[in-house]
Copies of this chain bind each other. A is one copy, B any other.
Amino acid sequence: MSDIARETSTSVSTVSRVLAGGAVSKRISKETREKVHEAAKRLGYRPNLLARSLRTRRSNTVALLVSDIANPWFGQLASTIEKNLHDKGYSLFLCNSAEDLKRESEYLHLLPQKGIDALILVPLLKSKKVLQQHLPPTLPVVVVDRPVQGVNSSVSSDQDMLANQLADSLAKIGVKKIAMANGPAHVSSHRRRAEILTQRFEVLAAFEGPSKRETGQAAMKEFVAKGIKPDAFVGTNLFLTIGMLDELNIPAIGQQMLPAFGCFDQLPFHDLLPMPVACAIQDIAGLADAVVRELMPLLQPNAPEPVPMVVPTLMSYNRAYLAKTGG
């Protein structure tokens, strides 16, 4: 800036005002304004955003800390949030806690020091305490996907709607009795999903374990061993469902007799499966939009009290399902 001030025989302040644009630059004579712009271009001037942020205490940068960026679901979420934020003039600083609580608190500690304007968090932590411990109380925070007790600025899917839509869809093709592979009951979303399904159907068998592929496999093994014949198998999570499918030897059973499947999250390639499959999926674009709508007011001077947002869910069916319902 001092270079271009010298070149144009003006002062650094004038240069700053011109380059600031907007109302401030209008108060500078057209002549010098053009001189400055010309010199800036000629010298290849690039503002130092660190210095600017240091001075203005604004960086136009929002951090997003996700629990696992290798998970395509979060990849899509991050991608959409970034797009939305970019439209509002913010850059996204994307970080990954990799399902590691230690990494999460490290980032929670580090990010505010890097001069971010706000934080969007897919939390691993379960208590508000950790947040308060690491984050300055003034930093706007939006919690996504997994509500945290006591944090009002949160965006998540309507878990009850999700489970009920799935139940509706299964009921529609005549399902009455199910067998379930459940994730850990201490995780609220798994518990709630299981509760609702239990209300809506007769549960012939339920198998609980960590939400991994192996649990689904073990569940299916047990169901087969016990000779359980439900109208549908349901997993409270994508990995559990896939595990069950792993153990289901489709050619051996014979395709006509296959029970249906109910799944949370989008099952890849479900059109390749011969039995009816209904997937209850969380609306990623809807969540991303809601995040930005929740966040923007918090960035304004007189921030209103935030209120949790709940996003409607969607269903997805495979061809075999649609063939059965006739459309």
Contact = CB atoms under 8 A, between A and B. Distances in A.
22 contacts: A46-B113, A48-B113, A48-B115, A50-B50, A50-B54, A68-B79, A69-B69, A69-B78, A70-B78, A72-B72, A79-B96, A82-B95, A82-B98, A86-B103, A93-B94, A94-B95, A242-B272, A245-B269, A268-B269, A269-B272, A269-B273, A272-B272
Interface residues of A, number: 54
Interface stretch (A18-26, A246-254, A293-301): A246-254
A271 interface: yes
A18 B247 CA distance: 58
Q: Determine how many copies of this chain the complex contains.
A: 2
A79 B69 contact: yes
A110 interface: yes
A259 interface: no
Nearest to A63: B93
Contacts of A70: 72, 75-76, 78-80
Interface in A61-101: 61, 68-72, 74-76, 78-80, 82-83, 86, 91-96, 98
Contacts of A72: 70-72, 75
A57 B156 CA distance: 40
A53 interface: yes
